[in-house]
Each structure stands twice: as structure tokens, then as C-alpha cells.
Amino acid sequence: MEAWSLFGLSEHLERLSKTGDPLEVLEATVDFEHFRGWLIDGLGYGDGARGGRPPFDPVSMFKALIEPRRQGQLQYTVGLSPV
């Protein structure tokens, strides 16, 4: 069993970057900020005048919806069942 180190996560992310992290490739390929205006209009975020918790960043939420879809399509391609 491999011992965990204090910098295990950063070392893992560095190795992943060297081998071609699919999230980094997606980030470099798609300009997600281009969708920000459409997402804000579509989600109907208010101006914050009524108070309350600030809404989640719409671009981050869009990325969170895109990634599982992309992985699901890859699973079908290789013949695995989706989780």
C-alpha cells in the first residue's frame, strides 16, 4: 500500500497534467465565459436587492453540467454502462 504524503493531491494533479488532463483540454478548447451573458439571462438572477445568499457562479454550474455528459458519452463509446 502506498503511503499518503502531505503533498499527495498536488503531486497527483501534476502527474495528471503531464499525461493530458481532460479537464484542462476542455478548458483550453471551449471559451466558457462566452456563455456567461446567456446563462445569467436564462437563469433570471436578480440584482441582489432583496438580499439573501449570492447565487452560484453560472459558468461554474454550466461546467459542472457539461463534464458528466462528456464522461457519459465516453463510457458509451468504450462499452461501459454509465454510473
Give residues with Cβ within 8 angstroms of 72, minimum separation 6.
82
pLDDT (average), residues 43-54:
80
Residue 22 pLDDT > 80: no
pTM tops 0.85, yes or no: no
Residue 36, pLDDT score: 92
pLDDT exceeding 70 applies to what percent of the chain?
73
CA distance 74 to 71: 5
pLDDT (average), residues 55-81:
71
Residue 64, pLDDT score: 81
Please give the backbone phi and psi of residue 47, each rounded to the nearest 5 degrees, phi first. -90, 0
3-state secondary structure of 65: helix
Greater pLDDT, 45 or 82:
45
